[in-house]
Chains A and B, each alone.
Chain A
């Protein structure tokens, strides 16, 4: 049994070599939030204790993705490929929750209907993950079936041991390939690792606690309580912004927008973009408005203007249902990885865990 490890200094030396061939994406600590970003040197990497505030999702499902460009000459319209960059890249320092979220995205974008843009990004990525030593303040991954050191969707897994060393686990063939190229930077020895990192006290507490809720119980309750006064109570304070959905690593709803982006004298040109959308927004399920309605342009727009989710509690219900019931029905997986970003970012303090615990209690009460 071989134990592999790499020291921080070796990593520091490895990075410039990698930069010659790959893009490297790593967590950085910005002015007030942390996020993943393309880095150009080892010093830019932020070795955070927990996950970043902004999820890794934007590197697989960009907030603004060009689908095609169009150009009109007279009555003919020409389409062209957009200028997208799909260079091979390495994501360094991904957390188990962010990587597990990719399973959710894969189900939507690369199982039955293959989304070319997403698959291109997915195939061009090598994931070097980092297991968690301490839980974040709002983490609840264990309750949704994710473990803080699991290696789902990772290619190589790093575990912090001591100050300067990482234990290295090769998870996939891609990871092993990578290792074989760069093995000079790693240390290998036979036998079990005698210096397996001891679990931190915080992590021990986190793992030992009872699960906060049981997702099967949640699903059962959701199956039978579509109409219930509970939803209005929970959603009363929701302001309908997109903070929770945009910062969620598994949320993937999108919208399309056509932009005219060129100057008038260069001929009409435009771009179609796919952008993030949120089920919390009022216009999410708004069908297009008929010709005489507000915001229409003559006969160009014609539609019923129908909106079924008229109030915020319906939209809130949709969010919970989608994550914990509909996605389970369709794909046998909960669309939540328990990272807790939605809890920490909500402007009015709506807590997903509180909602789910309440459902749990309601289930057992009746």
Chain B
């Protein structure tokens, strides 16, 4: 459904010889709009996007971001529900505050700010009102999908600009494959 593979490789593949490895945190609500992406059994080996489903964006602890970089990610994305849409009512606000200050702190410590992004998802109001995800997926996707794809593409290219994650974390064993 969501052509994530294509996005990662499409426009920019010709220009560079490495693929930025992205980790995307999706809250449960966001995940309804791209069930395809969640099918990580297929994606984890082929694609360079790893998705992690969390119950709410507020669950995303800053240590997760550090851990992602430690394990080889070049960029981290966190998607949260837009204002007032959070099913836990204030989880997205938690995320907003925490992650905004954490990102600036990481910048201060020498991380490139282009590697960490967070964004509101396309609004899921429709999906929620319908009561179940399935019939509304295409509907909300068609309304927000193009925006979504563009957003991810934009973010991936920013991460690519920043380059492969540098020797900030000197692992003993070199990165294998790119």
Which A residues have a C-beta under 8 Å from some C-beta of B? Answer: 66, 83, 261-266, 269, 271
Interface check B41, CB cutoff 8 A = no
Interface size on B, residues (CB 8 A): 11
Given A263-B71, A263-B72: A83 touches B172 (CB 8 Å cut-off):
yes
Assuming A263-B71, A264-B72, what are 16 further A-B pairs, CB within 8 angstroms?
Answer: A66-B172, A83-B172, A261-B171, A261-B172, A262-B176, A263-B175, A264-B44, A264-B50, A264-B71, A265-B45, A265-B72, A265-B177, A266-B173, A266-B175, A266-B176, A266-B177
Tell me, in angstroms, the Cα distance from A271 to B173 when the chains sit together.
Answer: 10
Q: What are the residues of chain A within 8 A of B171 when measuring CB–CB?
A: 261-262
Contact indicator A261/B72 (Cβ below 8 Å) = no
**Which chain A positions have C-beta within 8 A of B176?**
262-263, 265-266
Q: How far is the CA of A262 from the CA of B173 in the complex (A)?
A: 7
Distance of B8 from chain A, by nearest CB (Å): 15
| Chain B: minimal CB distance from A82 (Å) | 9
Contacts of A83 in B (CB 8 A): 172
A269 adjacent to B71 (CB under 8 Å) = no
Which residues of chain B come closer than 8 Å to A263, judged between CB atoms? 71-72, 175-176
B177 touches A261 (CB 8 A): no
Q: Which residues of B contact A (CB under 8 A)?
A: 44-45, 50, 71-72, 171-173, 175-177
Instruction: List 17 interface pairs A-B (beta carbons < 8 Å), by A numbering.
Output: A66-B172, A261-B171, A261-B173, A262-B171, A262-B173, A262-B176, A263-B71, A263-B175, A264-B44, A264-B50, A264-B71, A265-B177, A266-B173, A266-B175, A266-B176, A269-B173, A271-B172
B40 to chain A, nearest CB (A): 12
Most chain B beta carbons < 10 A, residue from A261, A263, A264, A266: A263
Query: In the complex the two chains form, what is the Cα distance from A269 to B171 in whole Å?
Result: 12
What is the minimal beta-carbon distance from A37 to any residue of chain B, in angstroms? 18
Query: Which chain B positions have C-beta within 8 A of A265?
Result: 45, 72, 176-177
Among B50, B71, B172, B177, the one with the most A-chain Cβ atoms within 10 Å of its Cβ is B172
CB closest residue in chain B, given A267: B176
- Find the A residue at minimum CB distance from B73: A263
The distance from the CB of A270 to the nearest CB of chain B, in whole angstroms, is 10
Q: How far is A262 from B176 in the complex, measured between Cα atoms in Å?
A: 9
Nearest neighbor of B175 in chain A, beta-carbon distance: A263
In the bound complex, CA of A263 to CA of B176 (Å): 8
Question: Across the interface, which residues of A come within 8 angstroms of B71, CB to CB?
Answer: 263-264
Q: Closest approach, in angstroms, between the C-beta of B66 and any C-beta of chain A? A: 14
The 6 closest A-B pairs by CB, nearest first: A263-B72, A266-B176, A262-B173, A261-B171, A263-B71, A263-B175
Name the CB-closest residue of A to B45: A265
How far does the Cβ of B80 sit from chain A's closest Cβ, in whole Å? 25
Least CB distance, B61 to chain A, in whole angstroms: 15
CB-CB under 8 A from B50, the residues of chain A are 264
Bound together, the chains give a CA A269 to CA B44 distance in angstroms of 18
Task: Report B-chain residues with C-beta under 8 Å of the C-beta of A266.
Answer: 173, 175-177
> Shortest CB–CB separation between residue A266 and chain B, in angstroms?
4
Nearest residue, chain A, Cβ from B70: A261
Complex contacts, A264 vs chain B, CB 8 Å: 44, 50, 71-72
